Amino acid sequence: MGINGVVTRTLLPNADLKWIYVGAIIPDFPWITQRIIKLTGFADNLYDLRLYCVIQATLFFCLVLSFALATLSRKFGRTFLILGFGSFLHLLTDALQIKWANGVNLLAPYDWQIWSFAFFWPESFVTYALTIFGLIYFFLNFKRAVNQPESVHWQWGMRHFSGICLLLIYFLLPVLMFDSPESADNHFVETLREAESRQGKYIEFDRVVYKHRPSGGFITSFAGEQIFVENIALEDDAYLSIRGIFLGKNRVWVEEYHRHYARLRDFASFFGLGLVTFLCGRYFFLVVKNGIKDGKKLPGDSF
């Protein structure tokens, strides 16, 4: 939120912070959905669920969702630029971090190559500094964010209809596109799905829980599969990123691993989402409180 706020308002000095913050979290929407679905236990195929989220988190689909949300604003073009640029900044910032078996898709559906510049780990000093900066930026600009005037387009029209159509595209089109990211082995979905042909294949795991056992440690993949790992010199449970080679169907020889000592990234994400939700809720409360009582329309800032 801090990066998006500073960069966007440097280019567009009067850009509405509420739209900036929404744009900053658009690429996370699919992963939020994945967490909810996995917690509820409704997902029958976690490989397809991962592919679905990979597709929705691409820059292309972030722009589709940005277009749909921008139809709510009277300043459609300006708001689309804020949301789309915010999504791009989010993905670019993610690409700067070291995330094995992970990264961002900037050119999909043309090219499903994962982009990762891998400059620093999620729990590095840079991440801490950016997180603290974002928190300070949010609170210093909270009042401005709530009160900044820019009208929402409340009345129904063709613009809203096009927004609904784009939302349908955002949610339904990824179902028809699984083959491309799987063929590119994004997040190693193809390698993990084809259990019988894993032996000798390279594999990476992004931030998985390692369980130490005297007989041999194991991890659990994003699909819920228990995989035994060898060549890890730890005597306790840990939170690891792993690179290795499959020795068999469910056994991996670890060539390199990184221990994550803090889970700040997850906590910061949840806290940031909570702040944005609170800000938007506060905004709508003020709009309703100060709204025109004839019921025809409500004044207010852009969301």
pLDDT at 302: 41
In angstroms, how far is the first alpha carbon of the chain from the final one?
15
CATH number of 194-259: 2.40.50.140
Give the pLDDT score at 299.
43
Cα–Cα dist 55/22, whole Å: 19
pLDDT by residue (tens digit) across 95-124? 999 999 999 999 999 999 999 999 999 888
pLDDT score of 256: 97
Buried b (16+ CB within 10 A) or exposed e, 11-30: eeeebbbbbbbbbbbbbbbb
pLDDT in tens, 287-300: 667 654 334 444 44
Task: Give the DSSP letter string of 206-268.
Answer: EEEEEE--TT--EEE-TTS-EEEEES---SS-EEEEEEEEESSSSEEEEEEEEE----HHHHH
Above pLDDT 90, what percent of the chain?
73
CA 249 to CA 194: how far, in whole Å?
A: 9
The pLDDT confidence band at residue 150, using thresholds 50, 70 and 90, is low
The more confident residue out of 269 and 58 is: 58
Distance CA 63, CA 194 (A): 32
Mean pLDDT of 69-91: 93
What are the extents of the domains in the chain? 2-186+263-289, 194-259
